[in-house]
Amino acid sequence: MSLPRRVLIANRGEISVRIARTCHAAGVEVVAVYTEPDAGSPHALVAGRAIQVESYVDPEALCEAARLSGCDAVHPGYGFLSENPAFVAAVNAAGLTFIGPPASAMEVMGSKTRARAAMREAGVPVVPGTEPGTAAELMPAAVEIGYPVFLKAVAGGGGKGMSIVSDPEELERVYRQASDEAAKSFGDGTIYLEKVVARPRHIEIQIFADTHGNTVALGERECSIQRRHQKIIEESPSPAVSPELRERMSAAAVAAAEAVGYVGAGTVEFLLDTSGDFYFLEMNTRLQVEHPVTEWITGLDLVRLQLEVAGGAALPPEALEPTFVGHAIECRIYAEDPAAGHLPQAGRLMLMREPSGPGVRVDAALTEGQEIGVHFDPMLAKLSCWARDRDAAIARMREALRRYVLLGVQTNLDHLQDILAVPAFADGDITTAFLDEHLADWPLADEVAPLALAATLLADRYGAGRVGSVDTGTADPLAGDPWRTLGRFRLSGGSGEAS
Amino acid sequence: MAARTFSIRGEEIEVAARRDGDHLTIGVAEGEPYVWHVRRVGAAEFVAREAEDEQRTHTVHAVRDQTTWWVHLDGRTYRFQAVLDRGGSGAAPGGLTAPIPATVVEVLVADGDEVDADQVLLVLSAMKMQLEVRAPHAGTVADLLLAAGDPVDGGQQLLTIVATEAD
């Protein structure tokens, strides 16, 4: 089998480290890239080879780095340029292999309207909606689709430019308002109408395609626990997906991938409503952040499969006929303050203890002393756990979260523990509105923590907390200088004086 | 008695510690005090064993960044703000710290003792040498929580000499 010989990893942080891990194990050399402030970052240090670049998002500079470092392939990771067709074209033009789908598949899936049209044609269910129109034109469609409906700005996205209408009498008024706002915010007041999916779950299907005509589904991931429209907990299998539903969703996801000539690892995202109907949301044309969940339950290494497919191999039997064992959960650990709107937090990571044990995996690229800035995504680490069943996986995750020590920057570790402790979570009764419905007022109780205060004083008395900290504000910098107050030195056990 | 004040959501809470032989007694505001036997297991890691139930231990991880304390205890993370009531550095003026990691060989004074300038207070042992720690000025011994045999870290506060008020 031919694998790439040397791969440029056009990314940073945990995903760069994770890709390097598999490459090294497969005997594939890697070259990491880093910008100047990232020179000491773990991803730049563990790769074995690293090259400095001006930016993580400059296609030409990255291709030049790949050429200079003698790479024959480029892995984009996720984020940055991973879903940029111009980057794929630049990599190919440089005579290198892009580890991912062809640019043409990316282009279709990258456009909301083109993707919807392609999916409709392929028989993949999409959220029922209309073409753009006037309020009068949309009125009959609203009746047909059934209230409540969304009025959406064509130019909107990411949760912006959507208004909900529950009452037919209100449609015209809300339409005018939405159109005016869209014109003001996006410079385009065009509005279309879409069905509101009731109490939706976010379910996605991992797919994998090779260049030999095989496209397989590798099970679903339930990603309904979100904050600010971003996932924080993912699991597989979903408590809401029966074997029959899994089969239907998998078939739809495979059809979606085949419709655009997909190759490599990809994820088809669906909204699942309470009646078991599901609708295409979008396709992520790359390796997903939460891919460890799928690796846990399938036993597959998705990065390894990416390398094999990029090398022209057919998918191996264990991917073509996947078996799913047990249950896996992933928690995303962020530098953020869950009590203050999940605002990203900066700081210096002064102390770190990562959990371990059976069925526990940490994907991170952290070191003590590292400055956590606000320039990149505030995700610090991914903690994932596997066990025989869902209850055991939750229990294992709660214990692993308790064992995760990250001091010096505010994280969501406690918040994650409290999410897993909500009875509705244990019941599998989760929707994208879970946090609003169950933990809107977090922290629930004002945790007066006398024991923790006592522990703090204990540490203070024993001189802890000096890990790299600098005392300032003392008028006399030598005040309390220990050498000043030292008396004579004596050799231990002897009587002779050394001073 | 060594005391610190912490600010939690605008509320100030005083925490005080006292050494009783092998045990550390810590009182938080008006609550029942905690009595612990403390073992240091790392620069920022301690195990506190309860005096009343010696099978019960708490693992404490703690670091300080200026006046902010970050503490991990029994699975939860806490952030406390230390209120500086005596000087601006977080350490009391007159506080004596260990110059290097060492072991306490001898404690020659006790909390509340009046001492003269240059009086020997403690003897430390490090690098096969014994170091005498002397009073930088006359005053009263405070914040002394050490006993012979205790390991101390470089920079760890040993005790405080509260300067005698000028007449």
Q: Which of B78, B96, B99 sits opposite A449 (nearest CB)?
A: B78
In 3D space, the residue among A96, A43, A39, A41 whose CA is nearest the CA of residue A67 turns out to be A96
- Min Cα distance B154 → chain A (Å) is 9
What's the confidence (pLDDT) of residue A499?
Answer: 36
Chain B residue numbers with beta carbons less than 8 Å from the beta carbon of A453 are 6, 8, 13, 15, 28, 80
The greatest distance separating any two alpha carbons of chain A, rounded to the nearest whole angstrom, comes to: 103
All structural domains of chain B, each given as residue ranges with its CATH number in brackets, are 2-83 (2.40.128), 95-163 (2.40.50.100)
What's the confidence (pLDDT) of residue B85?
Answer: 56
What's the confidence (pLDDT) of residue A496?
Answer: 40
**pLDDT, tens only, B15-66:** 998 888 788 999 998 889 999 999 988 889 999 999 999 999 999 999 998 8
pLDDT of residue A467 exceeding 70, the answer is: no
What's the confidence (pLDDT) of residue A473?
Answer: 32
| Mean pLDDT of the region A103-124 | 93
What's the confidence (pLDDT) of residue B43?
Answer: 84
B6: CB partners within 8 A, 6+ apart: A453, A456, B12, B13, B15, B69, B80, B81, B82, B83
| Mean pLDDT of the region A101-105 | 97
Strand boundaries in chain B, DSSP class E: 2-8, 11-20, 23-28, 34-42, 45-50, 57-65, 68-73, 76-83, 95-97, 102-107, 114-115, 120-126, 129-134, 139-142, 151-152, 157-163
Residues in chain B: 167
Query: For chain A, what is the mean pLDDT?
Result: 91
Strand partners, B24: B19, B36
What's the confidence (pLDDT) of residue B11?
Answer: 83
Amino acid at residue number A318: E
Distance from C-alpha of A283 to C-alpha of A205, rounded to nearest angstrom: 9
Contact A451 B73 (CB under 8 A): yes
Burial classification of residue A343, based on how many CB atoms lie within 10 Å of its CB (0-12 exposed, 13-18 middle, 19 or more buried): middle
- For residue A254, CA distances in Å to A103, A168, A261 come to 18, 38, 11
What's the confidence (pLDDT) of residue A488?
Answer: 55
Q: A272 and A199 in contact (C-beta within 8 Å)?
A: no
The greatest distance separating any two alpha carbons of chain B, rounded to the nearest whole angstrom, comes to: 52
Q: Nearest-CA residue of chain B relative to A399?
A: B75
Amino acid at residue number B167: D
pLDDT of residue A91 exceeding 80, the answer is: yes
The CB density around residue A496, as the number of other CB atoms within 10 Å, is: 6
Q: Which of A248-257, A411-420, B95-104 has the lowest mean pLDDT?
A: B95-104
What's the confidence (pLDDT) of residue B1?
Answer: 59
Q: How crowded is the C-beta side of A40, counted as CA atoms within 13 Å?
A: 7
What's the confidence (pLDDT) of residue A262?
Answer: 98
A198: CB partners within 8 A, 6+ apart: A273, A274
Strand partners, B123: B106, B132
Helix, strand, or coil (residue B74):
coil
Chain A residue numbers with beta carbons less than 8 Å from the beta carbon of B15 are 453-454, 456-457
Q: Identify from B38, B130, B133 which residue to disrupt to test chain A contact, counting A C-beta atoms within 10 A and taking the largest count.
A: B130
- For residue A204, CA distances in Å to A85, A214, A219 come to 23, 19, 8
| Mean pLDDT of the region A132-141 | 93
- Min Cα distance A170 → chain B (Å) is 44
Contact A461 B44 (CB under 8 A): no
Counting one residue from chain A and one from chain B, the pairs whose CB atoms sit within 8 A come to: 215
| Mean pLDDT of the region A62-86 | 97
Residue B20 phi/psi, 5-degree rounding, is -125, 95
Per-residue pLDDT band for B75 (boundaries 50, 70, 90) equals very high
Q: Which residue has the higher pLDDT, B2 or A152?
A: A152
Q: Which of A116-120, A418-422, A456-460 has the lowest mean pLDDT?
A: A456-460
In 3D space, the residue among B100, B103, B94, B97 whose CA is nearest the CA of residue B140 turns out to be B94
Residue A277 phi/psi, 5-degree rounding, is -85, 145
| Mean pLDDT of the region A136-142 | 93
Q: B56 and B50 in contact (C-beta within 8 Å)?
A: yes
What's the confidence (pLDDT) of residue A284?
Answer: 96
pLDDT of residue A440 exceeding 70, the answer is: yes
Q: Which of A447-456, A489-498, B2-11 has the lowest mean pLDDT?
A: A489-498
Question: Beta strand B23-28 with B34-42: parallel, antiparallel or unpaired?
Answer: antiparallel
What's the confidence (pLDDT) of residue A228?
Answer: 84
Distance from C-alpha of A271 to C-alpha of A202, rounded to nearest angstrom: 5
What's the confidence (pLDDT) of residue B111?
Answer: 83
In 3D space, the residue among A12, A168, A156, A181 whose CA is nearest the CA of residue A82 turns out to be A12
Q: A381 and A362 in contact (C-beta within 8 Å)?
A: yes
Helix, strand, or coil (residue A86):
helix
What's the confidence (pLDDT) of residue A19?
Answer: 98
pLDDT of residue B90 exceeding 50, the answer is: no
Distance from C-alpha of A451 to C-alpha of A464, rounded to nearest angstrom: 17
What's the confidence (pLDDT) of residue A492?
Answer: 53
What's the confidence (pLDDT) of residue B101?
Answer: 78
Q: Nearest-CA residue of chain B relative to A414?
A: B76
- Min Cα distance B80 → chain A (Å) is 8
pLDDT of residue A20 exceeding 80, the answer is: yes
What's the confidence (pLDDT) of residue B94?
Answer: 62
Does A140 sit behind a cis peptide bond, omega within 30 degrees of 0 on the bond before it? no
Residue A168 phi/psi, 5-degree rounding, is -55, -35
What's the confidence (pLDDT) of residue A364?
Answer: 97
Q: Identify from B30, B39, B53, B72 which residue to disrupt to test chain A contact, counting A C-beta atoms within 10 A and taking the largest count.
A: B72
Range among A438-452, A480-494, B53-67, B146-160 with highest mean pLDDT value: B53-67
Q: A63 and A94 in contact (C-beta within 8 Å)?
A: yes
Distance from C-alpha of A15 to C-alpha of A13, rounded to nearest angstrom: 6
The CB density around residue B105, as the number of other CB atoms within 10 Å, is: 17
Distance from C-alpha of A393 to C-alpha of A360, rounded to nearest angstrom: 10
**pLDDT, tens only, A204-232:** 999 999 999 999 999 999 999 999 888 99
What's the whole-model pTM score? 0.83
Q: A345 and A410 in contact (C-beta within 8 Å)?
A: yes
All structural domains of chain A, each given as residue ranges with its CATH number in brackets, are 6-99 (3.40.50.20), 128-195 (3.30.1490.20), 202-438 (3.30.470.20)
| Mean pLDDT of the region B134-160 | 82
Query: For chain B, what is the mean pLDDT?
Result: 83
Q: Nearest-CA residue of chain B relative to A368?
A: B63
Distance from C-alpha of B68 to C-alpha of B136, rounded to nearest angstrom: 28
Question: Beta strand A97-98 with A73-75: parallel, antiparallel or unpaired?
Answer: parallel
Q: Which of A85-89, A102-106, A140-144, A383-387 has the lowest mean pLDDT?
A: A140-144
Q: B145 and B17 in contact (C-beta within 8 Å)?
A: yes
In 3D space, the residue among B124, B127, B128, B130 whose CA is nearest the CA of residue B158 turns out to be B124
- Min Cα distance B120 → chain A (Å) is 8
**pLDDT, tens only, A151-183:** 998 887 766 788 999 999 999 999 999 999 999
pLDDT of residue A255 exceeding 80, the answer is: yes
Does A237 sit behind a cis peptide bond, omega within 30 degrees of 0 on the bond before it? yes
What's the confidence (pLDDT) of residue A211?
Answer: 98
Q: A8 and A71 in contact (C-beta within 8 Å)?
A: yes
Q: Starting from the edge strand earliest in sequence, which strands make up the sheet with A230-236, in order?
A: A278-284, A264-272, A201-209, A215-227, A230-236, A327-334, A379-387, A360-364
Distance from C-alpha of A74 to C-alpha of A60, rounded to nearest angstrom: 13
What's the confidence (pLDDT) of residue B154?
Answer: 72
Q: Nearest-CA residue of chain B relative to A498?
A: B129
Place of tokens 């083109």: A114
Residues in chain A: 499
Q: How crowded is the C-beta side of A421, counted as CA atoms within 13 Å?
A: 14
Which tokens go with A9? 């990893």
Q: B53 and B46 in contact (C-beta within 8 Å)?
A: no
Q: A256 and A185 in contact (C-beta within 8 Å)?
A: no
Q: A266 and A284 in contact (C-beta within 8 Å)?
A: yes
